[in-house]
Structure 1
Amino acid sequence: MKSFRFDIPRFPEEVEELRLEVRAFLARERAADRFIPHRSSWSSFDPDFSRRAAEAGYVGMTLPKVYGGRERSSLERFVVTEEMLAAGAPCGAHWIADRQSGPQILRHGTEEAKALVIPRICAGTCYFGIGMSEPDSGSDLAAVRTKAVRAEGGWVLNGQKIWTTNAHRVHYLLALVRTGDRGVDRHGGLTQFLIDLAAPGIEVRPILDIAGHHEFNEVFFTEHFVPDRFVVGEVGNGWDMVTQELAFERSGPDRFMSDYRLLAALVDRVGIDPGPREAVETGRLVAHMAALMAMSGSVAGLLGAGEIPNVEAALVKDVGTAFERDIPEVARRLVPVEASLDTTDDPYGESLADVILRAPSFTLRGGTREILRSMIARGLGLR
């Protein structure tokens, strides 16, 4: 039986110095009233903040200098991510491009695609969405039905994607599309494409969540033409491509820090002299977060070494999002407060209400628990 690779990361002195530098940057931003800390930091869309963060050197950190990146380590990017999330900074505009789309295009995109988008990603001015999920397929990426047919100089796409975060705001999608026969295991005949959302043949329709927020969208492709320079990787190799990309998506601190601001508020509300029940419950949450930080940092180290830790990333995502769903339940039990979005005199109650409404999606986005546990079992040789 195989085992997990979770070596406890050791942060060099320069990495911890960077942490203090990022905190100072965020303190200056707050002092200038440039952002208000938000509970869901990595989905808060603020292009101006993304541009300023890029100017400070905190976007495109691991990408090559020739494309405008900083060529810094994955661990350095990891601590920047931690600090941004802990501060509630509005990172949603650049988040997906910086986290996964940029590295994916760098590894597998054409030179034309790299030159077109990576410098703009590093500048904090180019934003991406994820074109994986489709109607009636859940987390089963092998069920992709959006189809691309060969045409002169490129491909013609028809089909639909769903749950596409910020598709109404971003510039591009990385989309998984069927280009050939699926084969016995259904993983064949898939290809990734770089999709320009400003091009003809694309319609974006909003999906409002239970809290009334517009983050999700449906994206429809009708005779949409994609030039050959926007093929990412080899035609037909999309399954391997998308599983590599998901290692970036599933393993970061955003998979267990979505409601960090509520956790911090809970600890403050319980106070420095908690009762036995409060001490046990909050202590358990803080201990779980510390373990998740170590696991996520370990995966960041593996990614920085050029490895593709799909199984470890899936475990971080599974355990991390379960932890995220636990926080509002504990917060509700420990503090007798009315959770309401209409609360004006109690930010804790408003924060709790918002997280309760968002929490059902935590264990769905990025892969359901059932899919993740199946991947983990296969990766460990258990099935």
Structure 2
Amino acid sequence: MIRKKIFNDTKSAFKLKSNTELDRAIFLFSMMNRPTLVKAGTALTKLSLKLHLPVETLIKKTIFEQFCGGVTEEDCKPVTKEMYDENLHSILDYSVEGKKTEEEFDAAMEKKLSLIKYAKGKKEISFAMFKPTGIGRFEIWEKVSEKLSLSEDEKEEWERVKKRVNTLCSKAYELGVRLYADGEETWMQTAADDLMEEMMRKYNKEEVLIFNTLQCYRWDRLDYLKDLHERAKKDGFKIGAKIVRGAYMEKENARAKKLGYPSPICESKEATDVNFNSVLSFCLNHLDDISVFIGTHNEVSSYLALQIVEDKGLSKDDKRIWFSQLYGMSDHISYNLSKKGYNAVKLVPFGPVRDVVPYLLRRAQENTSVKGQTGRELSLLREERKRRKGDKSTKHHRE
């Protein structure tokens, strides 16, 4: 029986944080625990950048250093090495958004290609990733998803998008690097699902290298996975499933209400939890055909996964099972999993400070919207500060 205490070990969770970094994290999560402050801070940050006010240094020293590994891949090296010394793997994500032209999409693909090559042979980098709308216009994904007729120019555009996806997947296959496609809004996800299934059919015949994301706040995802599993067994390919709860709930519900169709999102947080855990259980009970990347900051779901692994007599470091959290969040889950020998990985964003601000603002907003999450982070950080004050002999990595 899994002892439901392993995530309470704050000494292991925050081992790499200096006292200064611990205090900064406490300050940031205290701010993010106040939705009004986050809303005001978000507006002020956007305005300051628009007016070219000198706020980048402040951003870099606070929220950027909490949630990002650095500006370049080289900046991230000390971060990824430090974590790997604690058995914690990394995924590097160049988190620059807002591409609109074909030239920008080609450049974004080349950047992702370079990160796949960068991951080759580096034990600490366990995955690469890309976002479908980072290498193709949102509108073309939407049109293909809705099966609308395309103009000749759009047909050519869609072929270029497919070629970019295949270029990334074929390079990952060639180099033996795991690669996942991030999740998108429902109205363009169907095209991504179909294309990533095509990639899995092509490149996941022996081992699982290509993963697609299932956002489990969508009530249809368990049925989708079961149907995909049937096709995989029938046609002889394996599934890579990155499972998360989801990132666009407010936008999804607002669009459904505006356009008058049933919301694709589970009716409550509790229903989402049940759906996520059902998808998780299905994956872990079909490991002959499915490798699963469990992207969650939820302790209950994490314990469920650990219990299934134990009940099935699986190795803790079974390469078909990965746990993942975002850099700067839920260290009590990541580091305690890695300490116990499970495959744990942090998504480490990087990029120029000004360019990753949209990503950082989303992190702040998400921390205010997930009930109890920020409070849990805060209580553990404060507990660790209290523990250190009572243990004067404790040495920390950067002190």
Could you tell me the TM-score, scaled by structure 1's length? 0.26
TM-score w.r.t. structure 2 length?
Answer: 0.25
Q: Flag the structure with higher helix content.
A: 2
Which structure is higher in RCO with an 8 Å CA cutoff and minimum separation 6? Answer: 2
